[in-house]
Structure 1
Amino acid sequence: MPELHSYFLLPNKLYGQVKTNISGRTKDVDCSAAPAESICSMVLQILGSFLLAGLGTVSAGMLLDVVQNWDVFLEITEIFILVPAVSGLKGNLEMTLASRLSTAVNTVTIGSTREKWMLIVGNLALKQLQATVMGLLASLMAALLGWMAEGKMPFNHIVLLCSTSVFTAFVASLFQGIMMVAVIIGSKRIGINPDNVATPLAAGFGDLITLALLACCGQWFYSLTELYPYVLYLIDLLLLCLIPLWVAIASQHPGSHILLQTGWEPIITAMIISSIGGVILDMSVSDPNMAGIIVYAPIINGVGGNLVSIQSSRISTHLHRNFSQGGVPEERRSCCNPCYAFFGSGANQRSAKILLLLIIPGQLIFLNTIHLIKGGHTWPSPLLTVAFLSASLIQVFSLLCIADCMVHCLWRRHKDPDSYSIPYLTALGDLLGTALLSLAFLMLWCVGDSGSV
């Protein structure tokens, strides 16, 4: 006998009911059928957002190349450990928010303006709470890893790391959250699938905004440590005192209230994974034989996160639209086969192949854009180009396979992929990208290649 199924992030009492049949297939009662998406439309939407987001990651890489010589980066090298962790908050928070809201607008009809704003405000309040807590945890993790590597960690360095991380995470999260809401609502109104544009834009511009705030705030706070150290304590205290307010606001919406209790596992785990990538980056930057890696790290990590977030969001929307939680296609009920990610006639297999095909031309554009911005006097050497493209291709292929398995496994276990998969995937992207890039630069050093011609 059919039973009523409720998606716990989008409760039926707010967004209508979903009727489930015995086979696990679902069909929205109140929602119109989703329009068919042509390959041409999919490619154009993904390509546009991919190139825009890629320019954001290129700008982030160039910015990081400049600020690495600032006093705060030279004196407190542990801030390099913060870079992937704090930038990774875009995957933990902004891209997760974008994926959740994209699923909401693609699968359900929000009945009134009040209900829409309840959903938006509840999710933004939850995100501000998570940004504050995760910024603090990321700074403490960076301090711990720095202490383990060097055997010492001055207390004033810990305070500066905490203030910089918490303030950066808070301001970046607020700005990007509002921007994501505008992008998703606007794209839906003009007929663009938010799954194709929201998460990559959150990733690309999130990198640039977060790194700019991290560098500027870090340098500013560093200048205050001698004369006005109490300012750093006041900033930490003020932002931490806002936590009860965010809890109270987020508790008013059923979906965000549930995530107050269950949404911490993926973002904390992802932060730890990204911090390990930060240690690799810190060691690579400190090695004079690997000079120049700092420019390319945000690009390979950002592009990988952009592409896998699109795929994860699309698969999640497909499952929300067609299956009850726990129900998956017959062929996906056993252990996951990576071949399913690319081989098949479904829309998700087509999008995976399109995303993989974008890697080579996209990274070539971004790689040469870096050298053009530097003045155009040199170009990437053939060995650097091959090594960089190989690392990026291996990274994205691995992430797309992992995403396909992970999203279906989470859905089978009655966990929402929008809240769980993207933090894990972007953190793994940071770790894989940084490790593969470091290995590529190590190989270039071994053969004596300077990286440019």
Structure 2
Amino acid sequence: MAPLITTRHDDYIELSNTINEDDEPPDIRLQQNQQEQHQLQLYPMRHKHSNSLHRDSMEALLEEANQLTPAEDTITKLTIVKTSPKHLVFQSLPSLIVSLIGLIVAGVLMDEYQHWDVFLRTPELFILLPILLNLKGNLEMILASRFSTSANMGDLDYGPVRRSLVIGNLALLQVQALIAGAVAGLASFALGLMTRPDSTSSYHECVYMTSSSMVSASFSSAILGVFMCALILICRRFNVNPDNIACPLASATGDIVTLILLAGCAVVLQGQMDSLLSTFVFLVMLTSVPLFGLIVWKNKHAKDLLFVGWTPIVCAMVISSLAGVVLEQYVEKYKGVALLTPVLIGVAGNLGSIYASRISTSLHQDTYENYASVEWVLFLMNFPVQCVFLLIIWGFDMGQLDYNFWFFLTYILVSLICTFICLKIGKWMTLGFWKMGYDPDNYVIPYLTAMIDVFGTVLLVTTFSLLTSSGANDMTSPGNAQIANIG
């Protein structure tokens, strides 16, 4: 008996249990091809390059639409997407608040872990934390952006394609996470040798660092990958744009889960550091890379992604290390830098990633994004989120900060500048990569988050220096103030 399949032409819905991955939604694909051919006949130059469809505003488009015939106007309206600021705020603001709470919790966990015996005995773990969190965060946000595009394109509405995309992307995420974990572990061990040349580091410590990093990266990617796929499918089911919520939630939950798993792996493996347990775990993790790679290679929807996007991930790690150098130089000099910096750059990065993800989706769909409206809504959305953060740290007296008018004013100003820079860079990079023939979903977010790490850290440190030198607010830490008085 043939499986039951129900179709709806405006939004393809599949009720079949068939698992033949070679199947495609025939009605929708045929409709799309016919519509593209019709548009190509009417506007032969408009389809010469997809990016030519996108403009900074819709004024020119609407003026052109007024001059079209009724038949042409019907087709053109199919490519116009009007963004409701109210829907954008209602969908994005809760996810940004959740990501804010996640950033604060991650900061509290990092502050707690620094007193654990396992971190005191292996200081390289502190070097590993920012490197691993940066690499892992980029992987999950790339998955969220790419999967959101697939959802908005309708690729997830058809059962066989949906299953193939989920399996292929989860296997790809495992390959990326294991390789990223190995790179992060080896890099942190090497940096530890450079910063502490007198230390007695050994082979066992190197394998211990690498295996802890790979295990935590793999398991957190499995948890977060399933969570993100389920979240985006739910968004699609209830007609919510996943571009507005997926990236912030991926960023927030990723840091917390990875931190907890890394601490747990470090505690378990450190007791057996001198044994072959860490080596065995490392070999198991290493042999699983080609296994997951084979799954991706046999998946026609994910095969092309296996060797794509590695350059921005590695370059982002290098760029973020510059922010780490600046942060390390000033984290003990000024109060609150360690508390404020992750939230400052995290919120700006999340807003920029929402914007980049939306633009990428519109480019893939050949639709118009009202850039001016979306930019202003996302830019202004930064203000209530940062106000909530300031209320939280003021209410719980966190960071040993002097909460006066000048502190609040300068922090809000810096956060708005960071958000403005991040939105502009996100727009330019997304359009730029699209023009060069690269999928922005796989390239933009790593560079974007890494660059805002540097800009945000430098701006915050500069602001604290100006506040202190002008006498508006003494931001120097108590320890440095005492040293200055003694001198």
TM above 0.5, yes or no, is yes
Question: What are the Cα deviations for residues 111-144 of structure 1, in whole angstroms up to 9, with x where unaligned?
Answer: 6312111011101101100000011112222233
Query: Alignment identity in percent?
Result: 35
Matches within 5 A, 1:115-194: 115-152=161-198, 154-155=201-202, 156-194=204-242
Q: Which runs of 5 or more residues in structure 2 are unaligned?
A: 1-20, 54-74, 479-487
RMSD of Structure 2 on Structure 1 (CA):
3.1
Distance 1:278 1:375, change over 3 A: closer
Alpha-carbon distance in structure 2 between the residues aligned to 1:158 and 1:378: 38
Contact 1:280 1:435 in 2 (8 A): yes
1:365 aligned partner: 388
Given the alignment, which residue of 254, 258, 263 partners 1:210?
258
Given the alignment, which residue of 452, 457, 464 partners 1:434?
457
The number of residue pairs the alignment matches comes to 414
1:397 equivalenced with 2:420 (yes/no): yes
Alpha-carbon distance in structure 2 between the residues aligned to 1:380 and 1:77: 33
Alpha-carbon distance in structure 2 between the residues aligned to 1:40 and 1:85: 37
Instruction: Output the TM-score relative to the length of structure 2.
Output: 0.76
Contact 1:313 1:418 in 2 (8 A): yes
Distance 1:234 1:281, change over 3 A: farther
Alpha-carbon distance in structure 2 between the residues aligned to 1:401 and 1:12: 40
Distance 1:358 1:238, change over 3 A: same
Distance 1:349 1:219, change over 3 A: farther
The offset of 1:375, in angstroms, is 8.0
The offset of 1:204, in angstroms, is 1.5
2:99 aligned partner: 53
Contact 1:145 1:279 in 2 (8 A): no
2:45 aligned partner: 23
The offset of 1:93, in angstroms, is 1.1
Alpha-carbon distance in structure 2 between the residues aligned to 1:376 and 1:241: 44
Structure with greater Cα Rg: 2
Given the alignment, which residue of 436, 440, 443 partners 1:417?
440
2:56 aligned partner: none
Distance 1:274 1:13, change over 3 A: farther
SS at match of 2:245: helix
Q: Which runs of 5 or more residues in structure 1 are unaligned?
A: 1-10, 324-328, 330-345
Contact 1:284 1:290 in 2 (8 A): yes
The offset of 1:13, in angstroms, is 8.1
Contact 1:308 1:403 in 2 (8 A): yes
Contact 1:204 1:306 in 2 (8 A): no
SS at match of 1:290: coil
Contact 2:335 2:400 in 1 (8 A): no
Alpha-carbon distance in structure 2 between the residues aligned to 1:80 and 1:281: 13
Alpha-carbon distance in structure 2 between the residues aligned to 1:199 and 1:42: 14
Alpha-carbon distance in structure 2 between the residues aligned to 1:63 and 1:405: 35
Distance 1:303 1:266, change over 3 A: same
1:350 aligned partner: 373
One-letter code aligned to 2:187: M
Distance 1:148 1:196, change over 3 A: same
Alpha-carbon distance in structure 1 between the residues aligned to 2:390 and 2:229: 31
Alpha-carbon distance in structure 2 between the residues aligned to 1:376 and 1:261: 43
Moved over 6 A (4+): 32-35, 375-379
Contact 2:185 2:210 in 1 (8 A): yes
1:449 aligned partner: 475
1:62 aligned partner: 108
Alpha-carbon distance in structure 1 between the residues aligned to 2:253 and 2:408: 24
1:236 aligned partner: 282
Alpha-carbon distance in structure 1 between the residues aligned to 2:404 and 2:192: 34
Distance 1:109 1:136, change over 3 A: closer
> Could you tell which deviates more after superposition, 308-317 or 80-89?
80-89
Which has the higher relative contact order, 1 or 2, with Cα contacts under 8 A spaced 6 or more apart? 1
Alpha-carbon distance in structure 2 between the residues aligned to 1:200 and 1:392: 17
> Could you tell which deviates more after superposition, 443-452 or 212-221?
443-452
Alpha-carbon distance in structure 2 between the residues aligned to 1:385 and 1:76: 37
Distance 1:216 1:406, change over 3 A: same
